Structure 1
Amino acid sequence: MTTKSIADKPLSRRQQEVYDFIADFIDSKGYGPSIREIADAFMFESPSSAFSHVDMLIRKGYLNHKAGGVRTLSLTDKSGRRIAMVSQAGVMEWIAQQSNQHAKDAAVYALLTDLQDGIQTGRIC
């Protein structure tokens, strides 16, 4: 079967369930689940079952994966599901809000100021 024909096939029920789990995991935690976490969530006997589903989702164009990295699964826009993104401006706005709320707590304020400085200088990406 060619890559084109695989990419055109719809997801099976189980592939959709695995995809939904991965998408929800990424939405809630901000990074992709490990193969072991997927296997545990679906009570697969072996991580290879989870890997097979993930591999097929990649081949069908629903997921991306960076080789050699852990927790590098990411969603593509093929499913039409909105991919949550956090912008640097959004993070900086959140830090400013938290700084205002915690101005009287020196330790929290210092951490937030250091975080803000680290983002602005590129020390934290």
Structure 2
Amino acid sequence: MTTKSTLDKPLSRRQQEVYDFVADFIESNGYGPSIREIADAFMFASASTAFKHVETLICKGYLNHKAGGVRTLSLTDKSGKKIAMVSQAGVLDWISQQSNQHAKDATIYALLTDLQEGIQTGRIC
């Protein structure tokens, strides 16, 4: 059982290393590593050691995990690290801004309009 005092303690050196690995993996790949990939990266004898570190990071509030899903590890705001994530709404906002700036250039405006329409209709994912 994890106590409140344990949750308030700073990360151990190994927990920080596992956290950094997960953060770097997510930044590089766009999705979280599997427990086996974490175990392999640290040459743990079994996946249960990696699972215990991940479980502790989740309990301490540094990671999230969706039950029943694979590769669903994600970072929380607690760590202070920001992983660049692009949302569809963010892309559509950017297209709108670019369309306003390039309204006089028919070719660029047409490309941006087509891109926006493709995203909204699902033709472009």
TM-score strictly above 0.5? yes
Aligned length: 109
Residue in structure 1 matched with residue 61 of structure 2 by the alignment: 61
Give the fraction of aligned pairs with identical amino acids, expressed as a percent.
Answer: 78
Could you say which residue in structure 2 is the equivalent of 1:41? 41
TM-score by length of 2: 0.73
Check the 8 A contact 1:36/1:47 in 2, yes or no: yes
User: Who is 1:14 aligned against?
Assistant: 14
Q: After superposition, what is the alpha-carbon deviation per residue over 1:1-55, rounded to whole angstroms, capped at 9, x for unaligned?
A: 6543232111000000000000000011110000010011111111111101000
Residue identity in the other structure for 1:68: G
Query: Structure 1, residues 47-94: CA drift from partner, whole Å, max 9, x if none?
Result: 111101000000111000000000000000111111322122554669
Residues 26 and 9 (structure 1 numbering): CA distance in 2 closer, same or farther, change over 3 Å?
same
Question: Is the alpha carbon distance of 1:37 and 1:8 closer, same or farther for their aligned partners in structure 2, counting shifts above 3 Å?
Answer: same
Runs of 4+ in 1 over 3 A off after TM superposition: 89-94, 122-125
Q: Which runs of 5+ in 1 are unaligned?
A: 104-112
TM-score, with structure 1 as normaliser = 0.73
Distance 1:66 1:18 in 2: 18
- Partner residue in 2 for 1:74: 74
